[in-house]
Amino acid sequence: MRDFSYEISEDMKQRWSPRAFSTEPVDMDDLMALFEAARYAPSFFNEQPWRFVVADKEEELKVMRGILNENIQEWANKAPVLVVLVAKKSFANGEPNNWHAFDAGTAWGYLTLEAQRRGLITHAIGGFSKIKAHELLAIPGKFEVLAMIAIGKIGKKENLSIALQEQEEPANRKPLKELVFHGRFRS
């Protein structure tokens, strides 16, 4: 069970990263609302460096699935929507944007909370080839590929391997005293 030290939003309390996806399609209005939420994430100088490459049709999903590492495919291949999150590495004026990943991560956070609010699940994926993503999805070099995101509805835990079934529950978090330091960093 998760242990919350302070009262926070119910959506934040309930959000976690399941692997048991239903193959049921996601309604387009619901899907686009996730990107609308991400659109309103804060960013340095309002640059909004994030971009989302979305696959929700079988031919697009086939390409995205080919980018995934083999060990991820067991569960991620069932997700009806796969998204690659990228961020532009420079500001509009050409100067390096050293905060592009930070800003894109904030957009991902907004997206996943809106998904939770709508009864959808999300799972961020790091197990994929960034090189293949650049090549197969025609992502220009001025963008950094950051993550893949699986989006859908909760499926049956029993459809996962035994090993994954054992992991299929919300994980607890480190206590605040290990994460928050007043005045200076402590290890």
Fold adopted by 10-178? NADH Oxidase (3.40.109)
- Cα of 47 vs its chain's centroid, Å: 20
C-alpha to C-alpha distance for 97 and 109, rounded to whole angstroms: 20
pLDDT > 90: percent of the chain: 97
pTM: 0.96
Residue 187 has a pLDDT of 85
pLDDT > 70: percent of the chain: 99
The pLDDT tens digits of the residues spanning 103-153 come to: 999 999 999 999 999 999 999 999 999 999 999 999 999 999 999 999 999
Residue 2 has a pLDDT of 87
